[in-house]
């Protein structure tokens, strides 16, 4: 063939030559051919002479698609759903397909699901979720989490489940899923099908159109049925505008109460005049949290205090502290409002709070002193029988075994995750580092490496990344690259 109009005429294109092909290709190819075929020949074959027309391809393709649809339909009628599990924190409204059943999460909802064949077990930690459960599936919800005393069971039903904290607990810093279970209030609305709700050992059936509220340690009350003339609002839990407004109103009232109390306390504590120009501005702890620069939020008691807590038979203790922040973002005053009941733990918390640093809080563009109230919850399991309480080490910096015996690693992981989700990667890494002193797992190293990259702790990230098995490294590496950190050693 001759190209009359070749613009490259005279240019020595052969100057660009590939390197010699490597040896061993034939051996490799034949070895692969001796293995069971992974690619059907009919797919890979490209025979130019007998290549069918495009129309034939279309007809053949359509036939295949139709056959596939019929096969899928038959398969769908008889198959068993795939097992699986996941944790979901909905930062915005989200739809989940659970292999036959579905969940629509409102923003803020958090749950963990685990499917074992036709049984779908769910720990709904918080928020509103609308469930649509297939006829052959059984949904079992433990609202609030694993510590819940209530369960909701449904099959072939559509229902809404909303898990709320007590308003005071919604302001908690460092609350975990386990502690949340004990303070959750659960509202169940049944849209279709029948649902069973159990609490404090008593079970009631909830029929379509009824609403029931479950509270800790209380049996379910008789379901409140809708009046016949009451308008039907199928999406009643958390998803509709009315409930959002109600929730916002409740939050607003709570914020006002907290702010008023805080201002009153601040005026007394700081001893400043009531002149609004100089009085600290009362804000909610969540508002203050948004301005945090540094400081440890997860404050644990020392080993002696843990022992004292165990001796006292307490599994959960609370403490509330009022604090004010000056115009430079430093803690200017601090006092306990409600003691934890353990003086050393109060002191530990106060010492940690004094190290908190915030960005100056601006009102009309000017730095303004602010005050708020913060509540801490500490949960501690019953000590195991084999723990020798008399051999507690006093140096907690090296994470002695006894410290680990009283430390709930799962709680720490949840706390770290919450910190990370809230944008505090440094705090998440700090908590996860503590957890790793007591327990090591692939999952923990994966999370820790991700947190380290997000916190831009390159050296730590590389160390943690090296402990992650290769099959999990790619996803972490991708996230780290997004943070500008190369985690692989050169």
Partner 1 sequence: MTAAAAHPRESLDELTTRRAQRGDEQAWRALIARFQPPVHGLIWRLLAGRARHRVEDLVQETFVRVLRALPGFDLAGTASLSTWILTIATRLTLNELRRPEPAALEIEPPAMERTDHATERQRLGAAIAVCIAALPEPQRVVLVLREYHDLDYQDIARMLELDLGTVKSRLARARTRLRDDLSATIPDAVRGLGGRHA
CB-CB contact of 290 with 390 (8 Å): no
Query: Least distance in Å: CB of 42 to partner 1?
Result: 8
Strand partners, 189: 160, 211
> Taking CB under 8 A as the criterion, which residues in 17-36 touch partner 1?
17-19, 21-22, 25-26, 28-30, 32-33
Q: How far is the CB of 40 from partner 1 (least distance, A)?
A: 8
Contact call for residue 6 and partner 1 (CB under 8 A): yes
Does 1 bind partner 1 (CB under 8 A)? Our answer is yes
| Residue of 4, 15, 229, 313 that binds partner 1 (CB under 8 A) | 15
**Which residues from 35-64 bind partner 1, rule CB under 8 A?**
37, 39, 41, 44-50
Cβ contact 353:319 at 8 Å = no
Tell me: does residue 364 bind partner 1 (CB under 8 A). Answer: no
Q: Which is nearer to partner 1, 11 or 293 (CB)?
A: 11
Per DSSP, what are the bridge partners of residue 110? 89, 126
Short-list 363, 379, 378, 364, CA closest to 325: 363
Q: Which residue, 33 or 459, has its beta carbon nearer to partner 1?
A: 33
355, 384 in Cβ contact below 8 A?
no
Q: Smallest gap, in angstroms, from Cβ of residue 68 to partner 1?
A: 22
Measured from the CB atom, is 17 or 471 closer to partner 1? 17
Strand pairing partners for 154? 139, 195
CB of 9 to partner 1, least distance (A): 5
Give the count of residues interacting with partner 1 (CB under 8 A).
35
Binding status of residue 13 toward partner 1 by CB under 8 A: yes
* Cβ-based nearer residue to partner 1, 48 or 277: 48
Using rule CB under 8 A, residue 16 touches partner 1? yes
Q: Which is nearest to 319 in space by CA: 286, 353, 361?
A: 353
Q: Which residues of 26-59 are buried (b: 16+ CB within 10 A; e: fewer)?
A: eeeeeeeeeeeeeeeeeeeeeeeeeeeeeeeeee
Strand partners, 130: 104, 160
Q: Does 484 bind partner 1 (CB under 8 A)?
A: no
The least CB distance from residue 474 to partner 1, in Å, is 12
Which lies closer to partner 1 via its Cβ, residue 38 or residue 390? 38
Contact between 271 and partner 1 per CB under 8 A:
no
Identify the CA nearest to 211 among candidates 181, 247, 235, 180. Answer: 235
Q: Which residues are paired to 373 by β-bridges?
A: 322
Q: Binding to partner 1 by residue 10, rule CB under 8 A? A: yes
Number of Cβ atoms within 10 Å of the Cβ of 268:
11
Q: How far apart are CA 104 and CA 114, in angstroms?
A: 16
Residues that bind partner 1 (CB under 8 A): 1, 5-19, 21-22, 25-26, 28-30, 32-33, 37, 39, 41, 44-50
């Amino acid at each position: 063939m001759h190209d009359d109009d070749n613009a490259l005429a005279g240019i020595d294109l052969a100057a660009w030559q590939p390197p010699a092909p490597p040896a061993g290709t034939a051996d490799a190819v034949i070895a692969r051919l001796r293995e069971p075929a992974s690619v059907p020949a009919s797919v890979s074959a490209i025979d130019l002479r007998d290549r069918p027309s495009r129309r034939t391809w279309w007809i053949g393709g359509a036939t295949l698609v139709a056959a596939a649809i019929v096969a899928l339909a038959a398969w769908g009628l008889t198959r068993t759903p795939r097992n699986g599990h996941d944790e979901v924190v909905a930062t915005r409204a989200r739809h989940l397909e659970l292999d036959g059943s579905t969940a629509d999460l409102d923003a803020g909802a958090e749950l963990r699901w685990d499917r074992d064949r036709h049984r779908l077990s769910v720990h709904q930690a918080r928020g509103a979720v609308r469930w649509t459960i297939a006829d052959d599936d059984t949904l079992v919800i433990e609202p609030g989490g694993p510590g819940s005393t209530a369960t909701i069971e449904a099959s072939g039903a559509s229902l809404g489940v909303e898990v709320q904290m007590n308003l005071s607990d919604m302001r908690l810093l460092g609350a975990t899923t386990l502690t949340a279970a004990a303070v959750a209030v659960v509202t169940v609305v049944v849209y279709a099908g029948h649902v069973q709700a159990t609490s404090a050992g008593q079970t009631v059936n909830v029929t379509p159109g009824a609403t029931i509220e479950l509270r800790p340690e209380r049996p379910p009350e008789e379901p409140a049925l809708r009046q016949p003339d009451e308008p039907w609002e199928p999406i009643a839990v958390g998803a509709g505008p009315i409930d959002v407004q109600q929730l916002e109103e409740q939050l607003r009232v709570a914020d006002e109460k907290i702010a008023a109390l805080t201002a009153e306390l601040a005026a007394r504590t700081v001893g400043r005049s009531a002149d609004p120009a100089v009085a600290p501005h009362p804000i909610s702890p969540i508002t203050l949290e948004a301005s945090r620069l540094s400081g440890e939020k997860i404050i644990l008691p020392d080993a002696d205090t843990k022992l004292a807590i165990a001796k006292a038979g307490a599994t959960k203790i609370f403490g509330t502290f009022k604090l004010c922040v000056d115009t430079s973002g430093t803690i200017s005053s601090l006092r306990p409002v409600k003691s934890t009941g353990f003086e050393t733990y109060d002191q530990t918390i106060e010492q940690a709070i004094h190290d908190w640093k915030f960005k100056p809080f601006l009102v009309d563009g000017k730095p303004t002193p602010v005050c708020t109230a913060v509540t801490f919850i500490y949960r501690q399991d019953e000590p195991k029988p084999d723990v020798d309480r008399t051999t507690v080490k006093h140096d907690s910096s090296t994470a002695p075994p006894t410290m680990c015996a009283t430390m709930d690693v799962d709680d720490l992981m949840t706390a770290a995750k919450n910190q990370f989700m809230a944008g505090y990667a440094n705090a998440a890494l700090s908590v996860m580092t503590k957890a790793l002193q007591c327990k090591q797992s692939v999952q923990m190293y994966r999370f820790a490496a991700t947190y380290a990259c997000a916190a831009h702790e390159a050296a730590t990230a590389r160390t943690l990344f090296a402990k992650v098995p290769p099959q999990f490294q790619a996803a972490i590496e991708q996230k780290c690259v997004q943070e500008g950190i190369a985690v692989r050693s050169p």
